[in-house]
Amino acid sequence: MAQTRKIAFIGAGNMPQSIIGGMVQGGYPADAIYASNPSQPSLDILKEKHGIHTSNDNIEVAKAADVIVLSVKPQIMADACAYLRENLPDLNQKLVVTIAAGIRIEKYHQYLGNDVSIIRVMPNTPSLVGEGFSGVVADNNASADDKNFVLEVFNYVGKTISITDEDDIDVVGAVSGSGPAYFFEFMASLQKAAEAHGLSSEDARAMVQQTALGAAAMAGKSELTLEELRKQVTSKGGSTAKGVEVYQEANIDQISERAVNAAVARNQEMAKLF
Ligand SMILES: NC(=O)C1=CN([C@@H]2O[C@H](COP(=O)(O)OP(=O)(O)OC[C@H]3O[C@@H](n4cnc5c(N)ncnc54)[C@H](O)[C@@H]3O)[C@@H](O)[C@H]2O)C=CC1
Ligand SMILES: O=C(O)[C@@H]1CCC=N1
């Protein structure tokens, strides 16, 4: 059970919705969670579903909390930080966590002050169902206790890794942060292929998602490499070999490498832009 600190999410979009949902389901007290957003609908969902505190005013929730989680888009991070800095003279007494892609710790020190403790987290949306994956890296101001607290919070919603080299966060973002989108893209293509053979959309989707879940669960329980697990399915002279051959001919390794490189490059670009 994690220490309970009052935690305020600034921005209540898709990612904090997933994290907060997972936290409350995992047993983090809803009374210690706050969220702010300029528009009401996402706050209403959080309040009704999870019973957390909500407000349209970032300062109101930030004041109430010990930990502030910056959850706005990178494009508006500078403005959101400026507003906090102007209105919270005791910001250096709180812990600031950010889940934004790209923006580096050094920038947050410029935006919020060199004495503010910053921890960067790169989570992903499966946090909503307790199957998230997050990488966590801290600045030199944050204490070991601060970092442990953040790891514990994100352990409520999935698995975590502690990172020491900030550059690695861009890779975590490009693989597990963006990864659910890659898997959904692949699953949708398999679903379409099944439908093209006459299966109903419902059956095709059920078949694809259960297969993805089964494969991931098997990989999680097995000592074998992913390559060895693949070989177990691939009977010599059988049908899987023919299917796998098509992916290999299309050079699936190279496709994944290009996708990850493109996402890493965009994270590095955002570090310069915002
Ligand atoms: N969606 C994902 O899978 C992941 C997102 N992230 C990061 O999480 C952050 C949030 O992403 P999403 O939740 O997907 O974005 P989103 O677009 O769903 O939500 C952003 C929210 O911020 C609100 N907002 C706009 N201006 C604001 C302000 N001044 N103060 C407070 N709230 C404001 C918007 O109304 C919106 O509800 C981004 O920085 C992104 O890089 C990180 C990992 C995964
Ligand atoms: O697309 C994005 O920039 C964010 C970061 C990882 C997932 N979503």
**CA 39 to ligand 1 centroid distance, Å:** 12
To test the pocket of ligand 1, the residue of 14, 68, 70, 185 to mutate (highest count of ligand atoms within 8 Å of its CB) is: 14
For the chain, domain boundaries: 7-166, 179-270
Paired tokens of 220: 């999680």
Asked if residue 179 has its Cβ within 6 Å of ligand 2, the reply is no
Ligand nearest to the CA of 170: 2
What span, in angstroms and rounded, lies between the C-alpha atoms of 18 and 248? 35
Ligand 1 atom at minimum distance from 11 CA: 32
For the whole model, what pTM was predicted? 0.96
At 96, phi and psi to the nearest 5? -105, 125
Q: Identify the pLDDT of residue 1.
A: 55
**CA 177 to ligand 1 centroid distance, Å:** 13
Longest dimension (CA), the chain: 70
To test the pocket of ligand 2, the residue of 178, 182, 183, 270 to mutate (highest count of ligand atoms within 8 Å of its CB) is: 178
Q: Give the CA count within 13 Å in the CB-facing half-sphere of 152.
A: 14
**CA 85 to ligand 1 centroid distance, Å:** 19
What span, in angstroms and rounded, lies between the C-alpha atoms of 21 and 46? 8
Provide ipTM, 2 decimals: 0.98
Ligand nearest to the CA of 125: 1
Ligand nearest to the CA of 128: 1
Q: Identify the pLDDT of residue 194.
A: 98
Asked if residue 15 has its Cβ within 6 Å of ligand 2, the reply is no
What's the CATH number for 179-270? 1.10.3730.10
The reply to whether 271 sits in an annotated binding site is: no
What's the CATH number for 7-166? 3.40.50.720
**CA 68 to ligand 1 centroid distance, Å:** 14
Asked if residue 101 has its Cβ within 6 Å of ligand 2, the reply is yes
Paired tokens of 5: 């600190």
Which region holds residue 146: left if phi is over 0, alpha if psi is between -120 and 50, else beta?
alpha
Among all chains, which residue has been given the structure tokens 């959080």?
A: 46
For strands 53-55 and 132-138, give the pairing: unpaired
Non-local CB neighbours of 125 within 8 Å, separated by 6+ positions: 14, 15, 18, 132, 180
- H or E segment to which residue 258 belongs: helix 252-273
**CA 89 to ligand 2 centroid distance, Å:** 31
What span, in angstroms and rounded, lies between the C-alpha atoms of 239 and 57? 58
Q: Identify the pLDDT of residue 3.
A: 83
pLDDT mean values, one per 10 residues, the chain (274 residues): 88 95 94 97 97 98 98 97 97 98 97 98 95 98 97 95 97 98 98 98 98 98 98 96 98 98 96 91
The reply to whether 92 sits in an annotated binding site is: no
